[in-house]
Amino acid sequence: SKGNYRHFMLKEIHEQPIVVAQTLRTYLRRLEGELAPPPEDIDLASVRRVTIVACGTSFYAGMVAKYWFEQFARVPVDIDVASEFRYREPIMEEGGLALFISQSGETADTLAALRHARASGQKIAVVVNVPTSTMAREADLLLPTHAGPEIGVASTKAFTCQLAVLAALAASLARAKGRLSQEEERRIVRHLSEAPAAINGALAYDEAIEALAATIAPARDVLYLGRGPDYPLALEGALKLKEISYIHAEGYAAGEMKHGPIALIDDAVPVVVIAPSGPLFDKTVSNMQEVQARGGQVILISDYDGIEAAGEGCVATLTMPKVHPLIAPIVYAIPVQLLAYHVAVAKGTDVDQPRNLAKSVTVE
């Protein structure tokens, strides 16, 4: 049931502090400041390459994971959407790890890719939300998300739970590779453990975002910009907005704007900039200023320091809790989801059952 919520999507957005905490409990020993040991049947130390395959929102979680796996574990990652991966004759070294990410565990494209990878001699790891699904059954290494049933067609809580699992997996891989000191492990566990409270802090902006939605609802196009691990969030923001509000939206790597898409900018185009404080902040802000100089209507999502430094000249700002860059993609998913939700409600679309879409896509 929807309880006191108007839509399943809104209920599921608000469940995230609880389900992310629930998911992290499987992967972290919080009190000990340790990662939970990986299952014995997989030798993470021997993993030389990871191939990530998924569709839609789950694919964007995989894109974030690529940054983490490469940064922490220094393991090269290949990533593709399942429908392309399956038929492009991908190169997979015997004994490589292939990682599939899916809420439903039934997506036909992802399942076909999984079976192809198995036939090519890969170990199969699956991050999946439905424990009884086909993909869960076919995994060598099952990495469950504990988001609970997701009813809204637009994926929300499954995404943040996938990110939580993938961050823990990146850290486990780094540890197995001898790339994580005990001190660093403790620090990562602490940062991840802070995610549920930070998500709660982000949810406090629900009403502010609802107020903002009225200004976005009339737009014909909306752009989302981000950098590094927050770039896939720009893609996710655009996907969420498209699928439930039917407004045309695109996500770009902030630095790529000036190579073409900036031609789209005028004062009728809202541009959502996702820019938490951190090593990439200044670069993202300079891309944002290029947009502002051409009349772009910027909505800046950052933390207090970021808004202080760069909020001037924005049509709106949203102040997220200050978090470590590792968990920023998890926390910044919340305003991105709420923005799409409230714009869709303002437009009067069927939020939980958007046109032309099904919850589980079982044809290739």
What is the residue whose two structure tokens read 């905490």? 21
- Residue closer to ligand F6R, measured from CB, 58 or 172: 58
- Residue closer to ligand F6R, measured from CB, 181 or 362: 362
Tokens describing residue 159: 């995404």
- Residue closer to ligand F6R, measured from CB, 108 or 262: 108
Least separation in angstroms between residue 357's CB and ligand F6R is: 8
- Residue closer to ligand F6R, measured from CB, 306 or 354: 354
- Residue closer to ligand F6R, measured from CB, 310 or 340: 340
Least separation in angstroms between residue 135's CB and ligand F6R is: 8
Distance CA 1, CA 183 (A): 44
Least separation in angstroms between residue 55's CB and ligand F6R is: 4
Residue 198 makes CB contacts below 8 A (sequence gap 6+) with 320, 321, 323, 327, 330, 331
Least separation in angstroms between residue 172's CB and ligand F6R is: 22
Sheet containing strand 270-274, edge to edge, reads: 248-253, 221-226, 270-274, 297-303, 316-320
- Residue closer to ligand F6R, measured from CB, 58 or 245: 58
CB-CB contact of 177 with 74 (8 Å): yes
Cβ burial, residue 149 (10 Å; 0-12/13-18/19+): exposed
Q: Can you say whether residue 9 is alpha, beta or left, with left for phi > 0 and alpha for psi between -120 and 50 degrees?
A: alpha
Least separation in angstroms between residue 346's CB and ligand F6R is: 19
Other C-beta atoms lying within 10 Å of the C-beta of residue 295:
11
Other C-beta atoms lying within 10 Å of the C-beta of residue 81:
17
Least separation in angstroms between residue 276's CB and ligand F6R is: 22
Give the CA radius of gyration of the chain: 20
The residues that bridge with 29 in the sheet, in sequence order, are 34
What is the residue whose two structure tokens read 């909505």? 299
CB-CB contact of 333 with 159 (8 Å): yes
Least separation in angstroms between residue 144's CB and ligand F6R is: 13
Q: Which residues contact ligand F6R by CB under 6 A?
A: 55-58, 102-104, 107, 110, 154-155, 239, 243, 360-361
Catalytic residues: 359
- Residue closer to ligand F6R, measured from CB, 72 or 332: 332
